[in-house]
Every structure is written in structure tokens, then in C-alpha cells.
Amino acid sequence: MKKLILWILIPIAIIALFIIRTLVSAGQFKTIESYSEFDCKPVEGFAGGEDIVIDHSTGTAFLSYTDRRLALLGQSFDSGILSYSLLESNPIPRKLEIVNKQNESAKLSKFAFHGIDLFNDADGRRLLYVINHESVNQPAGYSVIEIFEYKNNQLYHVETIKDKELRNLNDVVAVGPRQFYATVDHGATSTIGQAFENYLQSPISHVVYFDGQTTRHVAGGIAYANGIAVSHDGQTLYVAGTVSQKIYLYSRNLEAGDLTKKESIYLGTGVDNIDIDEQGVVWIGSHPKLLSFVEHSKDQSKLSPSEVVTLTWQNDTNNYKPKTVYLNDGSQLSGLSVAAAYRNRVLLGTVFESKFLDCTRK
């Protein structure tokens, strides 16, 4: 009888320990005390402005948005690219028309935009790289990279890059006119496999590199590879591991594109998209309570706390200093995914809500 009780209690204890470990690592026991170094105002009208990139030469921000709530329900949804001038006194977001080279509306099969990046090439062209999903709610859905030229307040469709390695893409960073890195956020290709991958915190997602001809795997061992960015000198690549709650730093081979891991920085929050400002400070949108974010994704009435962390290089100590500059219980903005900075302004985007925040540093 004692052995039977023991055989019953052991699995129960293991399951209980797993649940507690998951809750602790996901931040569910954290106390969120709202804090902000900014004064923020909401900008309404477009749902799911998940990623933002700023052209620092013009002060123009570009927001990639997709109404994911409708998309996940299998309903018709809106998706597009917004421009937003940070030099105007009263800026308004403008949805950019996508046209082909003949100045006609581009006939892309579907818009379901996700990560976005900007590359200013040697000819003065402003090229936007945008992830476009063939399906928002398919676990093994393939993605493409759309390249647009921003000109005359329009997006001219330049090219669609397809490759069998481009699946489950989350974010992209351009390093050349036809070269980019992208994060593949799951190694598993089924719904149940991805659920196990998330809750077991399996480090099987990775980074791919497209060299202009082919795509290859260049970095792995990451639990939910998410945001990605490159330093201004092009020598360091930053990758966010949402489930591992780390920022991974890699040295780049500028010719071949190969990566060598330098270090990882544990931040203790669900890091999402990465932006680098004019001074080289790294800005990271984050989810301090990951399971609350999961609940928020299913029910908009459930709040998901939001956090912005910066990493600033310290010459005296030869390392990065992390700092939380924004923390909110989700009442101001739930599911924050990106913080993009320009001078004294910071734009905060979100995965699901129908607004973003335009903030000014205090």
C-alpha cells in the first residue's frame, strides 16, 4: 500500500514542481509597480502595431501592423505599413499604399505583416524589409520577405523572397540590399509540438541568414527567437530569446555572414523586439508576465503587463548596463512588443491593441 501511495505521489509532485517552475519562470508571481520615464499619449486606429523601425535621417517611423485577433479567429483582417513623422507637431499615422513599378496597386496574394526593418542603400533608396505570413494561425506556416522601396509616400514593391527555410519567421534585420538575418521562433512544426517547446523552454529555435542567393541556419540554441537587430557598425547582432528571457550577442563575419556567439544577457523578462537608437542604446520591448500575455492573446479584457528595458554600454566596466525605463500593469498598454526611440521620443507598439503610444522623455 505504501508503494502504491508513493507511485501516486511521485508523479503528482513532479507535475506540481513543473507547474510551479513554469509560473515562476514566466514571471507570474512578480509584483508590477508601474513606473515610466516618459509622458505618453495613445495614437488610435490600427490594431496590432507589433514592430516599429525609425529612419533616423528623416524622423519617419514605419509601423508594421496586423489585426491578429481577427486573423486568429479566421475572419477578414486588416494589415499594412504605417508611416508616422516624428518631426511634425501633430503627427497622424498614414497607411502606405503598396504599388508596383508601374505605379499600379501591387497584386500581392495576402498581407499578414510582422517584423520590419529599414535599409538605406548606397543609391539613396530606403528599402523596407517586411515579414509576410501566408497564414497567421498555422504552426508550420511559411513566410516570405517582402522588400519595398519607400518613395513619394508610397511603397514600391521590389521583390518577394521565398525559401523553404523561411518558416515561422518573427523578425528580420537587413544588412544589405538583398541580405538579411531573420528569426525562426519555433523549431517544432505542429501546434502541440510548439506548445511543448514553449512550456518546456526548449532552446530549439534559430536564426537564418539570406546571402542574396540562399538561406542557411547561422545560430541556434535559443528558446523562442524573437527580435533581432544589428549594431550601427554592423559587427554585432542582437537576438531576443523570449522564453529564455535573454539577449544573445553575436560577432558577425561581414563578408560571409557567419555568426560567433559573444555572450548572453539574462534580463528576467519576456524580451520581444529590439531597436537601437542613434547613440547605440539597445531598446527592448518586453512581457514581464508571459502567461498573462498568453491569456491576453485569447481575451482582450485580460491585461498583460508591459516593460521596456534598455542596454547601455559602459566603457568603464566593459559591459552592458540594463535598466527598466517603463513598466506598466497593462492598463495603459497591454502586450507591449517594441520600443523605438528617436531623440527625446519613444514609440511603444503592441501585438494586439488598437493603438500605440507616442511618448516623450520627462
What is the rounded distance in angstroms from the CA atom of residue 311 to the CA atom of residue 96? 32
Does 232 have pLDDT greater than 90?
A: yes
- Rama region for 356: left / alpha / beta (φ>0; ψ in -120 to 50; rest): beta
Question: pTM value?
Answer: 0.92
* β partners of residue 42: 357
Averaged over 156-183, what is the pLDDT?
A: 95
Residue 114 annotated as catalytic: yes
CB atoms under 10 Å from CB of 76, counted, come to 8
- Mean pLDDT across the stretch 262-277? 98
Report residue 335: phi and psi, to 5°: 65, 40
Encode pLDDT of 287-309 as tens digits: 999 999 999 999 999 999 999 99
Q: What is the structure's pLDDT at 35? A: 94
In which residue are the cell numbers 507535475 written?
15
Please list, in sequence order, all residues whose beta carbon lies within 8 angstroms of the beta carbon of residue 197, skipping any fewer than 6 positions away: 186, 187, 188, 204, 205, 224
**pLDDT for residue 182 is more than 90:** yes
Confidence of residue 238 (pLDDT cuts 50, 70, 90): very high
256: cell is: 560571409
Res 30 pLDDT > 80 = no
Structure confidence at residue 10 (pLDDT): 61
Structure confidence at residue 4 as a pLDDT band (50, 70, 90): low
3-state secondary structure of 298: helix
pLDDT confidence of residue 276: 98
Q: What is the pLDDT of residue 14?
A: 62
The residue annotated as part of the active site, out of 114, 133, 287, 296, is 114
Instruction: Work out the pLDDT band at 83, boundaries 50, 70, 90.
Output: very high
**pLDDT for residue 18 is more than 60:** no
Quick count: other Cβ atoms within 10 Å of Cβ 313?
14
Averaged over 96-114, what is the pLDDT?
74
- pLDDT bracket for residue 242 (50, 70, 90): very high
Higher pLDDT, 104 or 153: 153
Residue 205, all three cell numbers: 529555435
Residue 70 CA: distances (Å) to CA of 76, 78, 331, 339, 347: 7, 9, 22, 24, 24
The predicted pLDDT at position 194 comes to 81
Q: What is the pLDDT of residue 74?
A: 83
96 contact partners, CB below 8 Å, separation of at least 6:
80, 81, 82, 83, 150, 153, 154, 155
Residue 43 DSSP one-character state: E
The pLDDT value recorded for residue 24 is: 56
Q: Please report the pLDDT score of residue 142 as a whole number.
A: 79
Domains and CATH numbers, the chain: 31-361 (2.120.10.30)
Residues shown for the chain: 362
**Least confident window among 102-116, 209-223, 272-286:** 102-116
Residue-level pLDDT at 53: 99
Lowest average pLDDT, out of 64-73, 93-102, 260-269, 328-337, goes to 93-102
